[in-house]
Amino acid sequence: MELSIVEQRYRAVLEVQTGEPVVEVAARTGVSRQTIHSWLARYAEVGLVGLEDRSRRPRGCAHQASAEVEALVCELHRPTPRGLVAARPGRLAANPSSSTSVVLRRPAGLPLCPRASRRASGVTAAERQRQRSARALAGARAARSGSP
């Protein structure tokens, strides 16, 4: 019968507590002596729960915008009754970049800046340039022919 991870670690902790050298227990278990010492410390601190696998996921994100900045960006970009975006009153104490502002507005369903919405439409810059050239050419032809 195969032992679970917690049972294997508990057995190693018990061996060390009964007087076995850490180096020998580590060699039999197939881990480093530092690992055995960390198991001993975690077992002494919280018991068997300390011997379970722990998440390697980071506890936080250093560059994530705070809740206050996120709420302020969303409030400043909330549409007005006329459909316009509220004007930005001066510089913010925590002034987020325009890319941060777009990232925060997208999940909130708030309007994005015009450049971002053009990119999202799938029309390339070259295609927009061709469209502008075609409009200018059509305007020049209309001016030559005298029609408005």
In the structure encoding, which two tokens stand for residue 13, read together? 């902790």
Domain assignment present for 56: no
Crossing angle of helices 98-108/67-76, nearest 10°?
80
Domain count, the chain: 3
pLDDT of 81 reads 60
pLDDT of residue 97: 63
Domain-located, residue 25: yes
- Read off the pLDDT of residues 96-143 as tens digits, 9 standing for 90 and up: 666 666 666 666 655 555 554 555 566 777 888 888 888 888 888 888
Distance, in Å, from the CA atom of 66 to the CA atom of 52, rounded to the nearest integer, reads: 32
Residue where the block lists tokens 């075609």: 134
Please give the average per-residue pLDDT across 67-72, as a whole number: 74
Residue 92 belongs to a domain? yes
Q: Which residues does 9 contact at the CB level (< 8 Å), separation at least 6?
A: 39, 43, 51
Spacing of C-alpha 5 from chain mean position: 32
Q: Which domain holds residue 90?
A: 62-112
Same domain, 37 and 24: yes
3-state secondary structure of 26: helix
Task: Give the tens place of pLDDT for each residue, 14-59.
Answer: 999 999 999 999 999 999 999 999 999 999 999 999 999 888 887 7
